[in-house]
Every structure is written in C-alpha cells, then in structure tokens.
Amino acid sequence: MASSLDTLLSQGIEELRLALDEAALRTWQTRWFGKTGEISQSLKRIAQIPAAERPEYGQKANAVKEHLQAAHDAALLVLQDNTLENDLAKGGIDITLPGRRSSPGRLHPSTQTLRKILGIFGELGFEPFTSHEVEEDEVNFGLLNMPAHHPARDMWDTFHTTRPGWILRTHTSPGQIHAMRRAAPGPLRVVLPGMCYRYEQITSRSEIMFHQVEGLAVGEKVHLTDLKGTLLAFIQRLFGDKRKIRLRSSYFPFTEPSMEVDMDCILCLGKGCGLCKKTGWLEILGAGMVHPTVLKNGGYDPETHSGFAFGLGVERIVMLLSGMDDIRHFWANDWRFLKQF
C-alpha cells in the first residue's frame, strides 16, 4: 500500500511538470487537492489498511501531501516570476518621448531682480518703503534741493500731469522725504523700490518707465565710508565676492558729496570688452551723502545727523546679469522673452 503512495507522489510530480501555465496549475490543484482529488482519495483509503500499518501509512500520506503542495507552490512561484519577466520585457517605453509638463507661472524678471536686491539690503538692515508715483513737483524737486528753474532739473526729463504742480516722479528720491518725515528724529534705514518715469523716446537703450531702488540711511553716525562699505557689500552679494568698486565724483542736487559707483566688468573682469565699452568698468549706482538741505526738509538737524543715499536701476541690473541688449523687452511682455527667466 505504501508503495502506491510512492507511485502517487511520482505521478503527481510528473503531472505538475506538465502544467506549464497558471490555468494548468489550477487544474492540477483541483485534481490532486480537491474534495475528490487524489490526495483525499488516498487518505480515505486508510480505512482499508490494517490498523497496525495505519500510523505509518498516515504519516507517509501526509508527507506526500506536503511534498506535492510544496512542489506546487514552487512551480507557481516560478510561473509567476516568468509571467512578470515576460510582462516587464514587453512593457518597455520610449523614454525619449517628451515628459508631461505643467506650464508653470514665473515672476517677471524685474520682480525677480528687485527681490534679490531688496533681500540683500534687508539683510543689511534696510526695510522697504514704498511711496507715490504721481508726485508733487515740490517733493520730487523742490524739497530735494532743486527749487524751480534750478539747472539740475535738466538732468531729469519729466512727465507733467495736467494738474499743475503734479508730475510723475522721475526718481524714487521723493520717497526719501516721506520716509524721513516718518522716522525723524530717529535713525532710519530704508530702501525705496518703485516705478519711475522719464519723458524720453522709447528706444533699445531708453524707456519711459523703469524700476529704481533707492537706499537711505540717516543717523548720528553715518559716514561716507559706511556708504562705500554698504555698496561694496551689496555689489559683492549680487555680482560675486570678487567684484571691486570705484567711486567717481559726480553731482546730484540732493547729495553732497555725490558720486557714481562703478563695478569692474562682470564679463571681462576689468580687461575691457563690448559690455563695458572697453573701459573695464560698469556704472551701477549713483550715491552720496544726503545734502543738509534735504536732511532739514526731512525733519533732521544736519548738525547732529548725517545720512547717505544711493540709487540704482533694476532693469539695468537685469540687463547686465542676463546679457539683454534691448530694454523694450521689459514692458512688451512677449511670452517668449518672459519664459526664459
């Protein structure tokens, strides 16, 4: 009887070898392990076996059952692995097809650069102060030490409104007056960002509208050396820590002394190229010590207080950083231009 179990085992293994897919395996499973399957049948046969042989027969029958089950499970695993391998082999894609991209928004290049600038000055302790764009002639010029018919007014071509005495601010400097009047006589450190306007023809080099950022510090211990240090720190943060600056004497009615600030050319590093017009220097900022009259107009006593101020054009910085050569791109907002930033 026991030998019939051996035959059963080898028969089961043989049939299992012939089951080549999962469906055949399921048929095998039913045929061997189903309610009326071979295993059940052989277990039922235990009744016909002499009682003494029964335990041995039972043990052996169980061993056969376990053996066949294990063989089945192993065969199933192999089959599943094969199926997966097949699927994977067929499931390859052309990974060079374009990715599914969302169309993200972007900040306008002026905003991006303005933020960088304000961020650097923020770390240096300057808070942003915003002011009016439609401004009184008196604040834009008069209180900044340029009374009516002052020759320096020629430095700014001005848009006038039809309301007498009101103009579009030509620089952010009138904001100095508003900021000082808010803080005086306390110490003050602000940056004044915003749109300014110049009556000009629109060309690749000149625009009627541009962002300016102006800085202003007033206190009892504010010196020209601090102005130089602050601007050097700013320029090195924005353009790299190797940058050098140079101060050239200049003139603004609202500062005294006044100067232009150049930085060594970011392209040729001072050797001279097209960007710096072969001079090795790029003009970046106008700056100076706040004129005593302006301090007075802002509510400070020029005997006890001094201040420095500086101003720069945001679009000019964008152009320097990005190699743009036509300022008209900024407000034309051509999507092909904007998507590059």
Chain residues 244-303 in contact with other proteins, contact rule CB under 8 A? 246-251, 253, 256-259, 272, 277-279, 289, 291-293
Q: Which does 133 bind (CB under 5 to 8 A by kind): other proteins, Zn ion, none?
A: other proteins
Q: Which does 181 bind (CB under 5 to 8 A by kind): Zn ion, other proteins, none?
A: none
**Would you call 250 exposed, middle or buried from its count of C-beta atoms within 10 A (0-12, 13-18, 19+)?**
middle
| 321 touching Zn ion, by CB under 5 A | no
Tokens of 155: 């430095």
Per CB under 5 A, contacts with Zn ion among 245-304 are 265, 267-268, 273, 275-276
Q: Which is nearer to other proteins, 61 or 287 (CB)?
A: 287
Q: Give the CA count within 13 Å in the CB-facing half-sphere of 294.
A: 30
Strands 209-219 and 188-197: antiparallel
Per CB under 8 A, contacts with other proteins among 6-65 are none
Which x/- pattern, by CB under 8 A, does the window 219-238 give for other proteins? x-xxxxxx-xxx-xx-----
Smallest CA-to-CA distance from 263 within 224, 235, 233 is with: 235
Q: Which residues pair with 246 in a beta bridge?
A: 262
Per CB under 8 A, contacts with other proteins among 66-105 are 97-98, 100-105
Containing 252, the helix (H) or strand (E) segment is strand 245-252
Question: What are the DSSP calls for 22-90, one per residue?
Answer: HHHHHHHHHHHHSTTSHHHHHHHGGGGS-TTTHHHHHHHHHHHHHHHHHHHHHHHHHHHHHHHHHHHHH
| 212 touching other proteins, by CB under 8 A | no
| 201 touching other proteins, by CB under 8 A | yes
Which x/- pattern, by CB under 8 A, does the window 154-193 give for other proteins? xx---xxxxx--x-x-----------------xxxx----
Q: Which does 171 bind (CB under 5 to 8 A by kind): other proteins, Zn ion, none?
A: none
Q: Which is nearer to Zn ion, 167 or 276 (CB)?
A: 276
Q: Please check whether residue 179 is in contact with residue 190, taking contact to mean a CB–CB distance below 8 angstroms.
A: yes
| 242 touching other proteins, by CB under 8 A | no
Q: Which does 285 bind (CB under 5 to 8 A by kind): Zn ion, other proteins, none?
A: none
C-alpha torsion sign, points 270, 273, 279, 285: negative
Q: Which amino acid is at 214?
A: E
Give the residues lining the site for Zn ion (CB under 5 A).
265, 267-268, 273, 275-276
